[in-house]
């Protein structure tokens, strides 16, 4: 007979420790949205096509819809909520706002997280490298032009702040 | 071999609906400190109507944009709007907003006229003050005027605005005037076609919209860029029944089993696929429009596919009449072209 098994997990979400017992079939995305009510990662295609649910898992951009919650045990998860606050935006968030890189906004948190992962690894990306870094995220509104410009602008600002 | 070509296309588009009643609404309340709340049924689906309508309120009342709060598209709390359709909101909801602004101004001007001992029709508003046209020394801040109106004149500075586009019935032949006014777009596409594989690479797209006054140029540019990308997507790859065999461009059966059920099969473009997009706009001021504005939304996606297909023709001589212009269709066209060319003795293009 099929029985659902449950696992105890402990992980770090946006700098806070989370302890929970989760079904081992529960995705990280459903766990974040439905159980923890952390909703910046969006549930769109549910099969890894669109990137709207992109979060950082130990610094790497992943689709939260394809990650099981049980597998983030002892790992670090970062969502857009942990990146900046309305009064203190991360440079990537600030650039998206200032350059109008968001229209309906559904893909935006995913783009922000993908951009953060890219810039952590490569603080001085070329235009083509930014395109590569954002290629896992679909957007229907912007034509990608302004998001790419926003990431380049944020990269410049972060480099100058780091000097 | 890779061949390059250029194509152009133009489109005219309607921006209101005249065959059905489709009201727009706005309520504006100025608070006692001069800040403003706008309630409108206009629904911001990402095109930026909240921003644009807020800008119109701020501009026409001479107050900072960040003192305007916009509540929109909540049937419980906002007045009626027909919907975010036909690229109509900047024009129609904008007209409703400006009508509401006039009522607010009338109340404020009455207060200031009493206070300054001048005629209300000789007052003007701007830069946070209401001033007497013939003596700039005679001024009152908008915040003071709002306070006076609330607590001395006991008239709340509130306004109700509505706008009904004209209702023009069609004649016996179904002909009529579908829109109050029209707006225009031209697109140029530059493509490179691989004649061995039939794969099309869109290198550059230039799109220019006559949108009337660009209330928010940054958002106008964003809409044009997004529209160009969507047009490229359905020119080249997006198909609801990609696996059905087509006969003369018609699907013999629309089998739901063949419908793509994910973004991978439907294949919408990613950041890696986009061409260089050059967006520009022409401000053909519309006298009926709020601040001379018309629209920008849907039109941006409407001519790109035709420009790309024309560019494919320019590059290869192959005419594609059913989208998407897949490599299979282009290769078939190139072969037919060559066969026709060799039988008639002409050089293939």
Instruction: Give the pLDDT confidence of B152-201 residue by residue, as tens digits.
Output: 999 999 999 999 988 888 889 988 888 889 999 999 999 999 999 999 99
Q: Nearest by CB to A143, from B48, B225, B263: name it.
A: B225
Contact A137 B270 (CB under 8 A): yes
Residue B245 has pLDDT above 60, yes or no: no
Instruction: Give the pLDDT confidence of B110-122 residue by residue, as tens digits.
Output: 999 999 999 999 9
Same domain, residue pair A56 and A14: yes
Instruction: Give the pLDDT confidence of B15-52 residue by residue, as tens digits.
Output: 888 888 899 999 999 999 999 999 999 999 999 999 99
B residues 257..286 contacting A (CB < 8 A)? 262-264, 268-272, 274, 277
Instruction: Give the pLDDT confidence of B43-92 residue by residue, as tens digits.
Output: 999 999 999 999 999 999 999 999 999 999 999 999 999 999 989 999 99
- pLDDT at position B265 is 80
Question: Which of these three, A82, A112, A135, is where a domain ends?
Answer: A82
Residue B136 has pLDDT above 90, yes or no: no
* B277 or B240, higher pLDDT: B277
Concerning whether B298 is annotated as a catalytic residue, the answer is: yes
Q: What is the DSSP letter of B121?
A: G
| Residue B169, CB-side half-sphere exposure with 13 Å CA sphere | 2
The boundaries of the domain holding residue A102 are 91-162
Mutate to test the interface with A, among B263, B266, B271 (most CBs of A within 10 A): B271
Torsions phi, psi for B313 (to 5 deg)? -65, -45
Q: How far is A12 from chain B (nearest CA, A)?
A: 31
Residue ranges for chain A with pLDDT beneath 70: 1-3
Instruction: Give the pLDDT confidence of B280-302 residue by residue, as tens digits.
Output: 999 999 999 999 999 999 999 99
The count of other CB atoms within 10 Å of the CB of residue B204 is 14
What DSSP string describes B244-263?
Answer: SPPBTTB-S---GGGS--SH
Residue B347 has pLDDT above 90, yes or no: no
Same domain, residue pair B211 and B332: yes
The reply to whether A1 falls in a domain is no
B142 to each of B36, B37, B316, how far by Cα in Å?
Answer: 11, 15, 64
- pLDDT at position B348 is 46
CATH number at residue A147: 1.10.150.120
Contact B271 A49 (CB under 8 A): no
The reply to whether B280 falls in a domain is yes
The number of distinct structural domains making up chain A is 2
Contact A103 B48 (CB under 8 A): yes
Q: Nearest by CB to A131, from B45, B264, B272: name it.
A: B272
A105 in contact with B, Cβ within 8 Å: yes
Q: Nearest by CB to B225, from A105, A138, A142: name it.
A: A142
B332 to each of A65, A90, B244, B328, B345, how far by Cα in Å?
Answer: 40, 51, 16, 6, 20
Contact B263 A50 (CB under 8 A): yes
Q: Global pTM?
A: 0.92
Same domain, residue pair B318 and B199: yes
Residue B333 has pLDDT above 70, yes or no: yes
The boundaries of the domain holding residue B69 are 18-159
Measured between beta carbons, the chain A residues lying within 8 angstroms of B262 are: 45, 47, 49
A49 in contact with B, Cβ within 8 Å: yes
Contact A148 B271 (CB under 8 A): yes
The reply to whether A31 falls in a domain is yes
Residue B250 has pLDDT above 90, yes or no: no
């Amino acid at each position: 007979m099929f029985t659902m098994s449950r696992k105890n997990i402990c992980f770090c979400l946006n700098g806070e420790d989370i302890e929970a017992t989760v079904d081992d079939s529960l995705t990280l995305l459903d766990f974040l949205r439905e159980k923890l009510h952390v909703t910046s990662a969006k549930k769109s295609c549910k099969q890894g096509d669109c990137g709207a649910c992109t979060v950082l898992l130990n610094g790497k951009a992943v689709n939260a819809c394809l990650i099981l919650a049980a597998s983030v045990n002892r790992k670090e998860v970062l969502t857009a909520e942990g990146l900046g606050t309305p009064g203190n935006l991360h440079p990537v968030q600030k650039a998206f706002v200032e350059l109008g890189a968001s229209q309906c906004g559904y893909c935006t948190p995913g783009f922000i997280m993908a951009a953060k992962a890219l810039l952590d690894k490569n603080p001085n990306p070329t235009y083509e490298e930014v395109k590569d870094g954002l290629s896992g995220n679909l957007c229907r509104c912007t034509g990608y032009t302004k998001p790419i410009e926003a990431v380049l602008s944020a990269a410049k600002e972060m480099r100058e702040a780091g000097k | 071999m890779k061949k390059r070509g250029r194509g152009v296309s133009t489109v005219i588009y309607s921006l209101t609906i005249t065959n059905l009643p489709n009201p727009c609404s706005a309520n504006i309340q100025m608070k006692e400190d001069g800040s403003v709340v706008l309630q409108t049924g206009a629904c911001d689906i990402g095109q930026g109507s909240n921003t644009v309508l807020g800008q119109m309120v701020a501009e026409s009342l001479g107050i900072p944009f960040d003192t305007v709060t916009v509540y929109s598209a909540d049937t419980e709390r906002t007045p009626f709007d027909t919907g975010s359709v036909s690229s109509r909101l900047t024009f129609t909801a904008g007209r409703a907003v400006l009508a509401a602004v006039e009522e607010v101004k009338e109340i404020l001007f009455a207060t200031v006229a009493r206070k300054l001992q001048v005629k209300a029709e000789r007052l003007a508003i701007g830069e946070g003050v209401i001033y007497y046209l013939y003596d700039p020394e005679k001024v009152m801040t908008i915040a003071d005027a709002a306070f006076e109106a609330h607590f001395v004149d006991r008239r709340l500075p509130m306004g109700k605005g509505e706008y009904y586009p004209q209702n023009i019935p069609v004649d016996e032949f179904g002909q009529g005037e579908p829109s109050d006014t029209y707006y225009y777009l031209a697109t140029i596409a530059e493509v490179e076609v691989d004649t061995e594989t039939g794969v099309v690479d869109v290198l550059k797209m230039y799109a220019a919209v006559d949108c009337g006054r660009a209330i928010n140029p940054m958002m106008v540019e964003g809409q044009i860029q997004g529209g160009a990308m969507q047009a490229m997507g359905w020119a080249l790859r997006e198909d609801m029944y990609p696996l059905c065999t087509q006969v003369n461009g018609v699907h013999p059966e629309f089998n739901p089993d063949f419908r793509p059920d994910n973004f991978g099969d439907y294949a919408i473009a990613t950041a890696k696929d986009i061409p260089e997009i050059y967006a520009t706009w022409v401000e053909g001021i519309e006298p009926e429009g709020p601040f001379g504005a018309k629209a920008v939304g849907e039109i941006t996606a409407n001519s790109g596919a035709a420009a790309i297909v024309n560019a494919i023709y320019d590059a290869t001589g192959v005419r594609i009449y059913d989208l998407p212009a897949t490599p299979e269709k282009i290769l078939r066209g190139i072969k037919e072209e060559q066969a026709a060319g060799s039988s008639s003795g002409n050089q293939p293009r």
